[in-house]
Structure 1
Amino acid sequence: MTPETIQIVKSTAPVVKEKGKEITERMYEIAFNERPEYRRFFENTHMKSPEEGRKQAAKLAASVYAYASHIDELEKLSDAVEQIANAHVNTRVIAEQYPVIGECLLAAMKDILGDAATPEVMEAWTEAYNSLAAIFITREQEIYREQDKKMQAEFK
């Protein structure tokens, strides 16, 4: 990521904290309206009811805020990344889902932040999201490979 992207994302952390739950609730609304099949990935997780869905949105909002706050020191997020990556693998999230969810998150940010979602802010968040998605995709692929090796060893 460019230093400018890091600075812009970090500077938006306070508004992301303030509006985070609104943003993530809107993101799920957009995602499930545009891709109803994505709801299946959440039916056995924290989205079993509207109340649980709000809790999941709050967790995601906290994660987005943590990322914005620590974008210049990602090592502080390594435990959270590991936990989230494992949860994603357990629910069978795959790399191809990240672009769709990213578009939904960015659309939600634009909706909720209104005029504050300037082209520069949205460009920075797009770069930041793609960078974070790459981190998750890489780690999740490693976990899938580890699980595959374990399964193959069990069948020998």
Structure 2
Amino acid sequence: MDAIALVTEPPPAPPRPYPTLVKAGLSVDLALCVVMGLLALAATVQLANGAASTYPPAQAWTEAAIQYGIAGFGVTGNLLLLRRQRSGFWFACVALVFVCAGIAMAFKALPVVVEGLEAERKVPLLFGFVATLVGRWLFNLGYAFVLRGAWRCLTATDTEAAHG
């Protein structure tokens, strides 16, 4: 009996916990990705019903596809990371690529939206566009640091388990 007890391997090291900021960042982004999915569904229903928009339908459908990409990859990535699965990091990175595509589409749509406005409404719209753009960029930069922190925790756990 004692020989069998000596041969068995020790239990794996417990996973290294995420810092509070990483866990909070993943949770907040998960909630935002769920909201993005709901917005994508609402946009799809409106587009399918032929709702008029200020820019071409192809662009509207492209933006809806980007919203689905952010939602699908973001929710998957955040859930996997919260469950401590390394593959979630890559899903979250793909979601960030969709976010960048969404920002690019906003730049493309801006001239079409602005041209139909009166002069006194253009300045507030442009100010709001810039403020929103800066906010999205800063949030996603922060989220990139959250992903980096999650990756480091998962890598450290794997290294500790390998070297015991």
TM-score by length of structure 1 reads 0.41
TM-score by length of structure 2 reads 0.39
Whose Rg is larger? Answer: 2
